[in-house]
Structure 1
Amino acid sequence: MPAVLEYVSNVFGWCYVICWGASLYPPLRLNYSTKSVEAISIDFVWLNFCGSALYLASVVLLFYNGKVREEYAQRNAAEFHHDKPALPLVRFNDVIYGLHSFILIMALLYQFYFLGYRKNHRQHMSRTVKLLLLLIFCSFIALLLHAYTEANTKLELLDLATIFGSVKVALSAIKYIPQAWYNFTRKSMKGFAISSCVIDICGAVCCLVQLFTDSYLEDDINFGFKHPTKLLLSLVTIVFCMLFLLQARLYSEHRRVHEKLV
């Protein structure tokens, strides 16, 4: 049975990587075909970029850094009743997803700034987002300096990896708000790749299945709640993608009514 569940975990893990990775292609393709990025909020893209960088840093530390994994095992050893050491619920597919997402979001920024695609006058970074990203950058510089200069600090690399993941989740929740508001002010989803929302939801469901399968394999169904990054990331994705689908439905109806009146 454990071998079967391990296989199930791997399958759903790669399914979520494929889905979440594939969801980034429809916007890139649509922007390329229309030579326009008018449907996308630039705040959304920059927040997504920052969050993707933090997620990649978090999973790389948790998966590859021996010191981080040792710290995790020491902190969680008391909660395990078997000989297998406690290890973070991070797999190779998480690393691949993080790297792939980071590259594609950079490609989206490239479309915004270097290819001359059509934009409108509202597509500029808001002051709020600029200040938020500056605050995050300065905070992490301060944390790193504190961790490496204070001899008696209790801050460890595991804490940094956890903070990176937590901020990624927060940014994932925040990043959708500018896009939802932008859709609302436009009263249109024209040019927005709706298919990416459906693919994102499928990826989130697969991610949740893998997370709780891994929790079962660890003999602790609550273990998934101790790894909030993937859990909250999946839930936030589902909620906001459902909102975008609802907006697409409402604004398409609004457009049809308007066209009939005209």
Structure 2
Amino acid sequence: MPHRHRSHVKIAKTLRSLEPYSGPAMFTAIVVVGFVVGYAVDATPNIPEPYGRISSVIGWTYFAAWSMSFWPQIISNFARQSVVGVSLDYQLYNLLGFVCYAIFNCSFFWGASVQADYMALHDGHRNAVQINDVFFALHALTATLVQVYQCLVYPRGDQTLSVLSQVVVTASTLTCGLFYLVSTTTDSLGLFTTLNFLYLLSYVKLGATLVKYIPQVYLNHVRRSTVGYSIYGVLVDCLGSVLSMGQLVMDGAVTDDWSVISGDPVKFGLGAVCIFFDVVFMVQHYVLYPDTDDDERGGIVVYPASNVVVVELAAASENDPLLKNVVPSAAYTFLATAYDDFEKSDALDNAPRGGPVAVHVPQVVVLCGE
């Protein structure tokens, strides 16, 4: 076996050693980015000072928060070389939602005809989409594509996409495609307009957000564990949602124009939905399953090329549910050694490939088998 397997274990150990500092570091970075960029760019033009500058800072702060919320999960998946604990349905709904959201924001910000149609329907008021909304949507789509790729290449246990999620995503895609086709091939000024097509995309995004968290909540419940689903991403996401809703309310109050909410309902609705489910995840992680968090039980590092799985557990046993998620119905032989000796030994290099065998140390279980 190549020595890169041992290096992956060291990467995972290093990332876990930095975990206590990752939360404060992320929140500090979010605040710094929000203030620096918020003051560096032009203030929101249609809002009087000093509220225009405050709105700009809030907007870039929640942009930084929501953007960073994707990376703890990506890093966790990489360190563990596994997506066990992450719902595949959640990722599919996420992909659908952010494709729609990116098209919606880009069209409202850069589409001159869309802006004109919006102003005609809202007494000359401009839409509430700002440049940070566009950057967030594009970054979110990119980060989601990275996570989808991880779901395709990393082991995911016995989890598969549900029939329901496939039907919902397919039906939503076909509906949006047909609506767009009709709106671009007819001169109708009624229902089938480009503006209404974009609103349809926004509602698909809102719908995807409403349902995407449910499979993850259910998966955590079934596993009685939140291991594999990053709590840091949840905390940062909640911060971004609170700031997003606060910005909309402040902008509406300052300009006495509440169409910033009624004209962009998806933005306000997304914030409310995200906050609700973020609270649910916090309850699962800190209250319902406090003994199975990442600090207590660790994660799973899988090396499919060599049939090696490293499971970090405080107390591993053959009946541990996390092991069943990795290799169902396998019988393991546990061999004791010391953690430091394990790192320096050739246990990974010399591990047999013929059948399931485990090298068990206080914090690491190495499962080797076909």
Per the alignment, in what secondary structure is the counterpart of residue 243 of structure 1?
Answer: helix
| Equivalent residue, structure 1, for 2:56 | 10
How far is 1:253 from its partner? 4.6
> Would you say 1:94 and 2:133 are equivalent positions?
yes
**Residue by residue, what CA displacement relative to the aligned partner does 1:119-142 show, whole Å, maximum 9, x if unpaired?**
211x21110011111101110121
| Equivalent residue, structure 2, for 1:70 | 116
Q: Distance in 1 between matches of 2:260 and 2:69?
A: 28
How far is 1:238 from its partner? 0.4
> Would you say 1:252 and 2:290 are equivalent positions?
yes
Q: Distance in 2 between matches of 1:63 and 1:215?
A: 19
Q: Distance in 1 between matches of 2:136 and 2:74?
A: 17
Q: 1:213 to 1:96 in 2, by over 3 A?
A: same
Q: Is the 8 A contact 1:24 1:101 kept in 2?
A: yes
Q: Provide the TM-score with structure 2 as the length reference.
A: 0.64
1:165-184, aligned counterparts within 5 Å?
165-184=202-221
**Residue by residue, what CA displacement relative to the aligned partner does 1:15-56 show, whole Å, maximum 9, x if unpaired?**
111000001000111111111110100000010011001000
Unaligned runs of 5+ in 1: 78-84
The structure number with the bigger radius of gyration is 2
> Would you say 1:235 and 2:272 are equivalent positions?
yes
Q: Distance in 2 between matches of 1:71 and 1:153?
A: 11
Which fold has the larger relative contact order, with Cα–Cα distance below 8 Å and residues 6 or more apart in sequence?
A: 1
May I ask how many residue pairs the two structures share in their alignment? 248
Structure showing the higher strand proportion among its residues: 2
Per the alignment, in what secondary structure is the counterpart of residue 2 of structure 1?
Answer: coil
Structure showing the higher helix proportion among its residues: 1
Q: Distance in 2 between matches of 1:152 and 1:192?
A: 46
1:182-261, aligned counterparts within 5 Å?
182-221=219-258, 223-249=260-286, 250-253=288-291
Q: Distance in 2 between matches of 1:254 and 1:133?
A: 32
| Equivalent residue, structure 2, for 1:82 | none
How far is 1:221 from its partner? 4.2
2:160 maps to a residue whose letter is: H
Q: Is the 8 A contact 1:89 1:214 kept in 2?
A: no
| Equivalent residue, structure 2, for 1:106 | 145
> Would you say 1:127 and 2:154 are equivalent positions?
no
How far is 1:151 from its partner? 3.0
Which consecutive segments of 4 or more residues in structure 1 shift more than 6 A?
A: none
Q: Distance in 2 between matches of 1:151 and 1:97?
A: 33
2:173 maps to a residue whose letter is: F
Q: What fraction of aligned residue pairs are identical, expressed as a percent?
A: 26
Q: Is the 8 A contact 2:62 2:240 kept in 1?
A: yes
How far is 1:254 from its partner? 7.5
1:137-156, aligned counterparts within 5 Å?
137-154=173-190, 155-156=192-193
Q: Provide the TM-score with structure 1 as the length reference.
A: 0.90
